[in-house]
Amino acid sequence: MTRRGKREAREQKCMQNELNATEPTQHVEGLIDKTEVARRANITTRTVDSWMQKGILPYYKLNRRVRFNWLEVEAHIARNYRVVRGAQRSKRRTP
């Protein structure tokens, strides 16, 4: 490699380091499979299949494999569905 090529590579590396320092860091997560989605959502893999068919879960089809981006799954559910946790049962009065 010539001196000019080395200098350009160093400059490029410095610019990249500066960009990384100024950008907020994000947690980047890779794609996960159906069993991992089921584990994280505390549901069965059959429920994951059903939710995929109904359009509840966004997914990617890579050849014959199905993969999910967990951040997209969480955001999609939060944006489109109402999540109720620990709802209290209403007390019925008996006549």
List the end-to-end C-alpha distance of the chain, in Å, as a whole number.
91
Question: For the whole model, what pTM was predicted?
Answer: 0.57
For 19-76, the pLDDT digits (tens) are 455 444 455 568 999 999 999 999 999 999 999 999 999 999 999 999 999 999 999 9
Per-residue model confidence (pLDDT) at position 25: 46
Query: To 10 degrees, the CA torsion angle through 77, 26, 33, 81?
Result: 0
Please give the DSSP secondary-structure letter assigned to residue 86. S
